Amino acid sequence: MADKYEIIDIQPGDLALKTLEHKRAGYRLGQICAVRTETGYELLYSFIIEYHMVNYKITIEEDTEIVSISDVYPTAMLYENEMKELFGVNIKFINLDYHDKLYRIEEKTPFK
- The pTM for the full model equals 0.89
CA 89 to CA 49: how far, in whole Å?
27
Q: What is the pLDDT along the chain (112 residues), one digit of tens a residue?
A: 456 778 999 999 999 999 999 999 999 999 999 999 999 999 999 999 998 999 999 999 999 999 999 999 999 999 999 999 999 999 999 999 878 787 778 778 877 8
Residue 108, C-beta contacts closer than 8 angstroms, at least 6 positions apart: 100
CA 19 to CA 75: how far, in whole Å?
13
Best CA proximity match to 23, nearest among 74, 79, 84, 93 = 74
CA 7 to CA 82: how far, in whole Å?
22
Q: What SS3 state is found at 50?
A: coil
